[in-house]
Structure 1
Amino acid sequence: MEGGEGAEGSSTFGRNWEELARDALILIFLKLGTMEVLRAAGSVCRSWRKVATEEPVLWRKINMIDEIYGPYGDVVFDPFLVIDPVKSARLAIDRSGGQLEEFAAAYFVNDDLLRYLCDRTNALKKLVLISNTNLSAEAISETAKRQPLLEEIEILEGPFSKKLTEIVGTACPRLKSFKLNNTFYDDEEAVILNDDEALGIAKTMHQLRHLELIGNRLTNEGLTAILDGCPHLETLDISSCFDVKMDDDMDARCARLKTVRSDYLSDSDGFDNDYGCEFDPAFFDVGDRDDW
């Protein structure tokens, strides 16, 4: 009996992970992140690498934010591996086999990478771009034109021009969620513009359900146009939009929305208002992690 129990324990300890069923490996890999599969799981053995490189279903959602960057946007230091995020992104895009639906990346995206993505898929539904200083507004415009199935777009601290919202809205009629937060502009005149972005949204994004314009220069006129032009809107975040004044008329217009965030709303209004100066980890949030 003791020999039998020892043999059984030895067999369990020495399990050959290479013999795991392909379907089981796919389920395991889907629980891992993009970089974990690229640099770790796909290198365990030949069978694991075969699954990692030959199953496009694993690469329909590419999220290169959480695993490369920490909660404060800092690069996660790995002394054993030199990370080339652009090269890694291209490899992941290639492995998607034209089935890529969601792409999220921070800091390293440039015009060439977006063109590379568009050359290899036209099925994108979600695009998240955070603090990409080497990215141009023209590249975002071209991406929108080549990805008409886009339903969610988030641009945080990125390039934007006064005509881009109209271009994006026209090119992506299915757009349901649009986040344009704390953007920087290509020209000095942009700082004095107010409602150009808002009017572009109102004119073209009629199916919009969720909108964030944190730090935007829109006024009550632009917000009124959005509320009139986006009849399906449910949530609105206009924190740090200091040219918007929430008077009685605007309160009444916003009453139909499920959630409104604005620095000018008080708790007594029944709206969500948690504006403050302390760092909020949600600043780098790209959405519900269960969606990735």
Structure 2
Amino acid sequence: MEEERRWEDMDTDCLVNIFRRLGLEDLTLAVPSVCRSWYRASLDPTCWRVLKFRGLDFMPWSNLSKEFSNRYGLPGRFSFSGFLKFCVARTHGEAIEVELPLLFGATLNDLTYISLECPKLKKAVLPNLQTEDEPHLPEIIGRWHELEQLEMECKPSSFQELVDQLRQNCTKLVSLKLYGSFKNDDVSAIVSKLPKIKSLCLSKSYLPKDKLLEILTGCKCLHELIVKDCIGFEADEEVSKRVSLSGIKIFEHEGSKLVDEFGYETDECDPFYVQVI
């Protein structure tokens, strides 16, 4: 009887095709431990083109932190920055997607490192930065000339400058997702400087009805608009008519309302500081 073929004898291209579908925890801990051929295959940059850090547990007592430190003989305490640099180094500049965690979030130095070492990014999912670091975001994001999708936790204070960078350097951008307070200048910047945007998600934002209508009218290429759980508008007859005329295929607005549960129409008054006399 013909001897059964062993896993470690599989063709390297087949192994790479399998490994590129795995998450970072498997790539760093499980796969390299099996055999030398699997370890060699896991070093192929193709396996590291998608770097999804979100969803991993980076707490010092987590299995990932402890096992990674033990396997690679890390001196001192495990750090997210160290793990990030380890993974980015494996990409050899070929990464096309990065998704950073919310907690244990990336620092300004981490984002700068990624922007320099991963110039071919097509999708970036970024956490909040410290307020004092936000002015650096436009320069960082502007380095990704191939960027098509950008997701951020909230609208940064440097939003106007960010949109300028997207217009000048990220000409392939078609999808933008973030939340915050969108007023006259913000919406005007999206409409005038990102005319080719196809997918826009502003859920959980402050978005007045007139600004929503401006987006519907001004963004000619838009085919998906997600504005769920917003404050500032209701999807009335006028909005529905404008959506119909715009040609948008996907319009999600569930949970959006004109005022919040405290009765405020804008974001200018914090209900927690209102005294009832």
Residue aligned with 1:178, SS: strand
- CA distance 1:42–1:50, change in 2 (3 Å): same
Residue aligned with 1:94, SS: helix
Deviation >6 Å, runs of 4+: none
Matched residue, 2:170: 172
State the Cα distance separating 1:265 from its structure 2 match.
7.0
Residue aligned with 1:50, SS: helix
1:252 maps to amino acid? K
Matched residue, 1:149: 146
Matched residue, 1:201: 190
CA distance in structure 1 between the partners assigned to 2:240 and 2:89 by the alignment:
48
- CA distance 1:259–1:247, change in 2 (3 Å): same
Of all paired residues, the percent bearing the same amino acid is 24
State yes or no: 1:260 paired with 2:251: yes
Q: 1:116 aligns with which of 104, 113, 116?
A: 113
- CA distance 1:118–1:265, change in 2 (3 Å): closer
Q: Which region of structure 1 is more displaced relative to structure 2, 110-119 or 19-28?
A: 19-28
After superposition, give the CA deviation of every residue in 1:186-243 in whole Å (9 maximum; x if it has no partner). xxxxx6x723322221111111111111122232332233223311111111123211
Contact 1:111-1:135 within 8 A present in 2 as well: no
| TM score, norm. by length of structure 1 | 0.72
CA distance in structure 1 between the partners assigned to 2:128 and 2:214 by the alignment:
28
Alignment of 1:45-84 (within 5 A): 45-53=35-43, 55-68=44-57, 77-78=62-63, 80-81=66-67, 84=79
1:209 maps to amino acid? K
Matched residue, 1:30: 20
Q: Which region of structure 1 is more displaced relative to structure 2, 217-226 or 198-207?
A: 217-226
Contact 1:210-1:236 within 8 A present in 2 as well: yes
CA distance in structure 1 between the partners assigned to 2:61 and 2:220 by the alignment:
42
Q: CA RMSD, aligned part only?
A: 3.0
Matched residue, 2:267: none
Residue aligned with 1:226, SS: helix
- CA distance 1:135–1:106, change in 2 (3 Å): farther
Q: 1:233 aligns with which of 214, 222, 228?
A: 222
Number of equivalenced pairs? 242
- CA distance 1:226–1:173, change in 2 (3 Å): farther
| TM score, norm. by length of structure 2 | 0.75
2:202 maps to amino acid? L
After superposition, give the CA deviation of every residue in 1:7-29 in whole Å (9 maximum; x if it has no partner). x7xx65xx654333211211221
1:50 maps to amino acid? R
CA distance in structure 2 between the partners assigned to 1:76 and 1:151 by the alignment:
36
- CA distance 1:227–1:158, change in 2 (3 Å): closer
Contact 1:118-1:146 within 8 A present in 2 as well: yes
State the Cα distance separating 1:176 from its structure 2 match.
0.9
Structure 2: 5+ residue stretches without partners: 70-77, 258-277
- CA distance 1:232–1:46, change in 2 (3 Å): same
Structure 1: 5+ residue stretches without partners: 184-190, 267-292
Residue aligned with 1:136, SS: helix
State the Cα distance separating 1:85 from its structure 2 match.
2.7
